[in-house]
Amino acid sequence: MKSLLVHMNLKVGFAAGIILVVVTTLTIVSLRNEKNVTDQAADNVRQSQQRSFVMHDAPRPLPEFGFENVEGQPMTLSDFEGTVVLLNVWATWCVPCREEMPTLDALQAELGSSEFKVVALSIDRAGVDVVQDFYTEIGIRNLDFFIDPTMKTTTALGIPGLPTTLLIDRNGRELGRLVGPTEWATAEMIKFLETHIYTD
């Protein structure tokens, strides 16, 4: 009788072990599938954001508007004539702007040249110091910054909200714009921009 009980306990233990292995395997598979779904969803979001860059049928002339560089010298878009410009209108108090700024910095590091420049144009009324402090805080190393404390740029360019980014050709004409934040340094975005930098 005792040996029978031992035998039965062994069978129960063996069955429990098999069940545990099966449950563990199913859990791992489920977690992997969940991660794949999450990764795919993130990819879809990034691609959707990039697709929201609305391109015009033909380049559009831009109105005159002014801003300043870090030294307080007045500037206009004509100062970048001959260069494809990615004009990002933003502010330090805009949370999505703050979140995407490191990717703009990475984009400038990747593509910045005499052919292409990211122009980060702050509309902070508080002036240069708050922008400099923010750049230092998050470790921006490749972006110059420009400022329009009058905020007249938003009216001149019809900016509906921040951030808004304009892709501007070598002649100062708007090729398209993206309203809202995005991941600027992805392979897809870099490839998209390169088609306009080197074929414009």
Q: Can you give the pLDDT at residue 18?
A: 53
Q: What percent of the chain has pLDDT over 90?
A: 72
In this predicted model, which residue has the larger pLDDT, 35 or 87? 87
Q: Supply the mean pLDDT for the chain.
A: 84
Average pLDDT of the residues in 159-171:
97
What per-residue confidence (pLDDT) applies to 132? 96
For range 97-110, the mean pLDDT: 98
Find all residues with CB under 8 Å of 66, minimum gap 6, and list them. Answer: 74, 75, 76, 148, 152
pLDDT at 8 over 70: no
Model pLDDT, residue 32: 55
pLDDT at position 52: 75
Question: With pLDDT > 70 as the criterion, what percentage of the chain qualifies?
Answer: 74
CA 188 to chain centre: 12
Is this structure's pTM higher than 0.95?
Answer: no
What residues contact 190, with CB distance under 8 A and at least 6 apart?
107, 110, 111
Query: In which residue are the tokens 């069955």 written?
Result: 15
Residues 152, 168: Cα–Cα separation, whole Å: 19
- In sequence order, which ranges of 94-168 are alpha helices (DSSP H)? 95-111, 128-138, 152-156
Angle value at C-alpha 19, between 14 and 23, nearest 5 degrees: 150
